[in-house]
A = this chain, B = another copy of it.
Amino acid sequence: MAPPPAISFDTSPSQYKHWRLAIDGPVATLAMDVREDAGLSSDYRLKLNSYDLGVDIELADAVQRLRFEHPEVHSVVITSAKDRVFCAGANIMMLRGSNHGWKVNFCKFTNETRLAIEDASRHSGLKFLAALNGICAGGGYELALACDEIFLVDDGNSAVSLPEAPLLGVLPGTGGLTRLVDKRRVRRDLADFFSTLVEGIKGKRAVAWRLVDAVHPTSQFNDAVRRRASELAAASDRPPSGPGIVLSALEPTVTESAITYSAVALTMNRERRTAELIVHAPTDPQPTRPDGMLEAGDRFWALRAFRELDDALLRLRINEPEIGTIVVRTEGDCERVLSVDRALTEHREHWLVREILHLMKRTLKRFDLTSRTFFALIEPGSAFAGSLFELALAADRSYMLDDADGVNVIQLSGLNGGFLPTSNGLSRLQLRYLAEPNRPAELLQRQGPFSAREAGEAGLVTFVPDDIDWDDEVRLAVEARAAFSPDVLTGLEANLRFAGPETMETKIFGRLTAWQNWIFQRPNAVGEHGALKSYGEQGRPDFDWKRT
């Protein structure tokens, strides 16, 4: 089964096929109601609220829209519109039929969506209550685990379960194992037992083992959910009322070789397996106060450029698997970027500014987690300042032209000082200067730009070739990179990009995902007689019993 050729991540509630979004004052309800016949491929049917990437794209969209479009919503109930079924998890036939890269990218996106739920809770005061009104298996339970609290109906039948290991020979790969022991702090031996049970655990035992927060009989379930959702809403620091701003469709111009947005362009060179990613600084003056930003809405550069960047990264991952090396450039007026950064820093307490800053942060995390090489090229006319300089810091390397006349500069802003942290909680400057912990503060003190030589001496960029060397050095670096084994680069970057502390988030993408990807390669899962491949067929899988 070939994955559908070009996936778009643009959607909106009126287009949803699989979710129903209802808003009742401060409480929103997001009810899963997956259309069996509306999967991304016709090779499988999405039975029992099982999901594929298309279902998750809608979920991600809904969470994003609630943050921007509905500041008056303070809590979200995630439940199912189907009777006695919450969610059966990722669709098994979809997984069975997908190639390795699709499985990996599917899991990466669903992980990012669940982390976006937790990000909304932690940073944006939007609390999530999973109301499990029926069976809740695998990815369904992993979605519940991403919520702040989990209520399970006590109907004698509904249970939570992670049956991936016993049924499919793969891990619950959407953060489930990590959240069990690290977020919900389920005892590791109980987690071990639970993760090997097909039938799952229900009722009081599910509460005692910390798998859910409460169980309620069917007759009282909806009331209990409503009550708790209101309580969660009451504690929120979101604005008491709207309006929010509307996130309109991005509608890039897509050609055979380029995706062009208003402030972002991604141009592919398929023959060389490279691409150029350009982000443009604002070309017009931008609002500097929240009322102006509210009025500008999604046309405000900071929001628009980073939404576009996010979309470009997603399309790159899913639709362009062979483009391995991306040259990152910026263009425009540094001062305009710095002016936006100053406005965001100053008004960071405003709900919309807060949302924009966290969206910028999540987009940069998506960049960190994109398994492609990024080389930032800093040339005269570029705008690697403040928030856009984060792209150079996030890149695997940066090359800055040491021009004779010192026109080529970079500059820091307050946003580089911790507003846009990586998954491990550090700013990209802190991550860069692990060996010199005082350096970020020193560099941030400096008002004004850094020339290439200054940036090189300060360690803010990797290499500073002069005019004579520039063309060859950059060309050879890109060519050499594009000739490497794609797999070893994925492993290399996944290790070098995540120095320093680990968090639940980095554990999900490092430890959990890396093991899952290994299992996704193993004949015991995906071989002809592997557990995932033979699921639903006669007979038991045929395992190679060697433990590795």
Contacts and interface: CB of A to CB of B under 8 A. Distances in A.
B502 A324 contact: no
Given A169-B487, A431-B188, A525-B487, A546 B322 contact: yes
A177 interface: yes
Contacts of A547: 101, 321-324, 371-372, 486, 489-490
Contacts of A242: none
Interface string A182-216: 10111111111101100000000000001000000
Nearest to A322: B545
A64 interface: no
A396 B189 contact: yes
A34 to B, nearest CB: 26
A14 interface: no
A80 interface: no
Given A491-B519, A518-B521, A547-B489, A462 B496 contact: no
Contacts of A434: 181-182, 185
Given A190-B462, A489-B547, 7 more contacts: A180-B496, A189-B395, A192-B396, A485-B530, A488-B525, A491-B516, A511-B511
Interface centre among A196, A521, A548 (most CB of B within 10 A): A548
Q: Which 10 pairs from chain A and chain B are nearest by CB? A: A514-B514, A185-B435, A181-B499, A502-B502, A169-B485, A491-B515, A510-B511, A177-B495, A321-B546, A189-B462
Interface string A461-505: 010000000000000000011001111111111111111111000
B486 A515 contact: no
A273 interface: yes
A362 interface: no
A100 interface: yes
A398 interface: yes
Contacts of A84: none
Interface of A: 100-101, 104-105, 164-166, 169-171, 177-178, 180-182, 184-193, 195-196, 210, 273, 321-324, 371-372, 395-398, 431-435, 459, 462, 480-481, 484-502, 507, 510-512, 514-519, 521-522, 524-525, 530-531, 541, 543-548
Nearest to A105: B548
A55 B490 CA distance: 30
Contacts of A180: 496
A489 B548 CA distance: 10
Nearest to A169: B485
A398 B189 contact: yes
A397 B184 CA distance: 19
Contacts of A321: 546-548
Contacts of A494: 511, 515
B487 A548 contact: yes
Interface centre among A431, A434, A515, A516 (most CB of B within 10 A): A515
Contacts of A524: 485-488
A485 B531 contact: yes
